[in-house]
Structure 1
Amino acid sequence: MPKDKRRRGKGGRGGVDLRQQSDDELENGDNFSVVSSQSDTHSYSADDDHLQRGAEEDGSESNVQEEFEEKLRMYIDGLTQKSAKGRTDCLRRLRQALSKKCIYDFITDRKMTMTDGVERCVKKGKGEEAAAACICLNLLLLQLGPGEESEEIYQQLRPTLVTLMADKCVSARARSADAIDTMNCLENVFKSSYLKGDRTPPTHNPDICALHASALTAWGLLLSIAPPGVVNDLIDSHLSKVSELLLSKDIELRIVAGETLALIYELAREEDEDFEDRGMEQLCEQLKQMSTESHKYTSKKDRRQQRSSFRQIHDAIQQGVSPNTCIKFGKESMMIDSWARKWQYESLCHTLGSGMNVHLQENDLLRDIFQLGAPIPAMAAATSRVSKFERQMYNIAAFKARTKARSKFRDKRVASVSSDN
């Protein structure tokens, strides 16, 4: 995991330190993660602040929950109003609420109403509204978790999202907010940053560069869970293409491209531990140069950011070095021990923002993704005391179990792909 706390532009993957968040819910340092994430959330209104402080003021948790749900119903109803500004504000409030708490029962009872409202905002909205609607859709699916409910909503909105992402008349901000479509559609977005016929990088404005970085990030996320057969085909067809993006004039796109290459090499070595592409030596030399560049036409911050990122990317490709970061949330912790896992964690951080720790503790889908098991009851978490040695032994055992589980899972996907063919 990169050590620098970089913050990227619109649609990027990096972010701000969770310790800098100002929400009252984040005042308790025990729940902080050691890894930063991008929140991009707006400030709560006075009414929303009251929801956060209500438990302390009136001492009634049930009253606060009822008031919280009443506010949510108001925001859901607000998605049908005529004012685009009003709809956008309701989407922002919904995003805040969906990222802060796990409210599966509430969502289940209103999933079609919310889906219809969000779809209407995606179709009718412009720029900021459409982008906020796409993020709310991501959060809605995360709240519902795996299963028929999520699949039904995804299939309903998929045509709309594909059309939105492919339509160049739609603002770059709205198109970059959707990261749930197929890899081919996503490549159709960022391939415009491949080298031109004369082998020079194209020039795009910052918004388009941010869009391409966002699309490549989503492409990498899907690559991290793709079946081995698909991964092998993509390695053959895309390793040299993604390498071209290292020459982009945009630092964010360069870094995302480098991390994508690290992910590709990691997945390739899972299938063949001795994997080496014929252009690997030249690529490593390029990465080494980028990790020491000090061009004066770039800012000190950008130079520092690039050097730190590409040192890790270079080590990953040349020596097979993987991230090794412990994420703490509540009384639990987990290891980010691969580029694929890092990619998944950071993508979810970008969507959930400061609510990531809450969802890691309570959201069944996230706990399934990171193989954390069933949520720990609140009383059990509060009373359990584990020594440092026991935690170390647990993390070692969990690392071995995850490695074994990933191998079995990939074997199953091989069998699935073979049977489909």
Structure 2
Amino acid sequence: MPRRKVRKKGAARGGDSSEGDTEETGSIVSSHLSEPDSILEEEPQQGDNVDETDAQDVLEEKIKELIDGTTQKSANGRKDCLEGLKKALARKVLTDFIENRKVTISDCVERCIKKGKSDEQALAASVGTLLLIQLGAGDDSEGIFNDLRHLLKTTLLDKTAAPKGRASCALFLGLGCFLAAEDYETVMECMTALEHVFSLSYLKGDGTAPSHTPAIAALHCAALSAWTLLLSIAPPSRVPQLVDSHLGKLPSLLHSDDVSLRIEAGESIAMFHELAREQNEDFDMENVEELVVTLRGLATDSNKYRAKKDRRQQRSSFRDIIRTIQENEIPHEIIKFGPEILELDGWVKKRQYVAFREVLGSGTNIHLQENVLLRDIFGLGAPIIMSGPGAPKKANRFERHHYNSQAFKARTKVRSKQRDKRTAVL
């Protein structure tokens, strides 16, 4: 059996999210469309005179205005509304509310991807991905994804489109296919489109790595990330074929100038080994010694021309990758959220978690607690009741203050005795 390495991690943070989480939300359509953030951040506390139902009604009215705002003529106004809608869908589970507006939101996403540029396309694709996460697996998600799939592929493969918009379409295509593909042939079709993009970073005929702008490198990384997510759901019968056709090509991406693409390629190779060894414990790819030499070089890279943060991230990632390939040791991480934990046992679960975290950002914990779809994917069971008669009582502000005050006094008494000169040993 593979050995496990346990690493404890804290709750998902906003810094892990995709672009846009640190920007203020606003709109020129209405003077108060910029308020969803404040509503989302104001959680009612026990003892406070807050009507949770009223707060929910206000939030839903704001979201309706944001949806309407995506049809305005101003491009900046549409982007502001899409940004607000993205934050609302990421930070709250609103399945019932979204269910009645799924067609309207889907139409807005389609319109903005078709007619928008760069940022607008990226935001619209993010909103489309969040729409599927809110709806969960089922006929509704499948219908919306099938309606948008051709547009996503067309935009992804359009070299005249902005790389930022294409990258978001790649993530939408990957996660949408993961959640709502009707059969595995659809999955393979999407994987082929994604590979057509990131394969442009394979080594050239003379053995040198192609040079790309940071925006194109980010696009290739997004396409590879989405491709690897779909690899994680490959049926066991398809794994040998995928190993034969792709595992030999991926090591060439380890020579890319982009650190994120190198790490993504390394983790894809590690996932291939994990999947192959589930069927054959003795699996090893051809030229594995040459691969290990490359991986060790990246795990000990100290080139000063790379940023210190990039070097640290790269070394940490490739140490884990080497352990998987050489020692058959799979990573085992623990994610804490609320009163629960999520165990990421291996590269497959890790890739799936990271895919959702990239879309949900700071709302990852909320969705892990309340979203039935995510809880089903990660085997967390039914949502735990956090409010109502069956929920554990949360101390109010006065009770917390009183407890902290008493604990402080107790610590002071103990420390005073310990510091008393009369107890000093001479």
TM-score by length of 1: 0.81
1:120 matched to 2:111: yes
1:321 matched to 2:309: no
Contact 1:39 1:354 in 2 (8 A): no
Aligned to 1:328, the other structure's residue is in SS state strand
Offset at residue 311 of structure 1 (A):
1.1
1:147 matched to 2:135: no
Offset at residue 147 of structure 1 (A):
0.5
1:228-284 alpha-carbon deviations (Å, 9 max, x no partner): 222221111111111100011111111111111111111111111110112112111
Stretches of structure 1 lacking an aligned partner (at least 5 in a row): 6-15, 22-35, 385-421
Q: Which of 290, 298, 320 is matched with 1:290 structurally?
A: 298
Q: Which of 205, 208, 220 is matched with 2:216 structurally?
A: 208
Q: 2:155 corresponds to which residue?
A: 164
Contact 2:72 2:78 in 1 (8 A): yes
CA distance in 1, matches of 2:37, 2:314: 38
CA distance in 1, matches of 2:71, 2:385: 38
Distance 1:344 1:18, change over 3 A: closer
CA distance in 2, matches of 1:206, 1:354: 25
Q: Which of 39, 42, 52 is matched with 1:53 structurally?
A: 42
Distance 1:73 1:296, change over 3 A: same
Distance 1:50 1:296, change over 3 A: closer
1:28-58 alpha-carbon deviations (Å, 9 max, x no partner): xxxxxxxx55564123456234423384786
Contact 1:54 1:64 in 2 (8 A): no
CA distance in 2, matches of 1:49, 1:376: 25
Contact 2:6 2:332 in 1 (8 A): no
CA distance in 1, matches of 2:20, 2:340: 26
CA distance in 2, matches of 1:229, 1:362: 34
1:109 matched to 2:117: no
CA distance in 2, matches of 1:217, 1:271: 24
1:362 matched to 2:370: yes
CA distance in 2, matches of 1:145, 1:94: 18
1:248 matched to 2:236: no
Q: 1:277 corresponds to which residue?
A: 285
1:382 matched to 2:392: yes
CA distance in 1, matches of 2:155, 2:356: 22
CA distance in 1, matches of 2:349, 2:355: 10
Any runs of at least 4 consecutive aligned residues in structure 1 with deviations exceeding 6 A, and if so which?
1-5
Aligned to 1:177, the other structure's residue is in SS state helix
CA distance in 2, matches of 1:143, 1:280: 42
Q: 1:97 corresponds to which residue?
A: 88
CA distance in 2, matches of 1:206, 1:224: 27
Q: 2:62 corresponds to which residue?
A: 71
1:267-313 alpha-carbon deviations (Å, 9 max, x no partner): 11111111011211211121112211222322322222222221111
Aligned to 1:323, the other structure's residue is in SS state strand
CA distance in 2, matches of 1:119, 1:276: 44
Matched residue type, 1:80 = T
Q: 1:417 corresponds to which residue?
A: none
Stretches of structure 2 lacking an aligned partner (at least 5 in a row): 27-33, 175-189, 395-426
Offset at residue 333 of structure 1 (A):
1.1
RMSD: 2.3
Q: Which of 292, 310, 318 is matched with 2:318 structurally?
A: 310
Aligned to 2:392, the other structure's residue is in SS state helix
Contact 1:322 1:337 in 2 (8 A): yes
Offset at residue 382 of structure 1 (A):
2.5
Contact 1:2 1:308 in 2 (8 A): no
Q: 1:11 corresponds to which residue?
A: none
Q: 1:347 corresponds to which residue?
A: 355
> Which one has the largest radius of gyration?
2
Contact 1:122 1:129 in 2 (8 A): yes
Offset at residue 189 of structure 1 (A):
0.4
CA distance in 2, matches of 1:49, 1:364: 24
1:197-235 alpha-carbon deviations (Å, 9 max, x no partner): 111111111100110011000000000011122222111
Aligned to 1:325, the other structure's residue is in SS state strand
CA distance in 2, matches of 1:204, 1:268: 32
Aligned to 1:80, the other structure's residue is in SS state coil
Aligned to 1:327, the other structure's residue is in SS state strand
Matched residue type, 1:68 = L
Q: 2:123 corresponds to which residue?
A: 132
Matched residue type, 1:43 = E
Contact 2:82 2:124 in 1 (8 A): yes
Distance 1:381 1:189, change over 3 A: farther
Contact 1:165 1:175 in 2 (8 A): yes
Matched residue type, 2:278 = E
Contact 1:88 1:129 in 2 (8 A): yes
Q: Which of 24, 33, 38 is matched with 1:43 structurally?
A: 24
1:69-120 alpha-carbon deviations (Å, 9 max, x no partner): 0000000111111111111111110110001111111011111111111110
Contact 1:37 1:346 in 2 (8 A): no
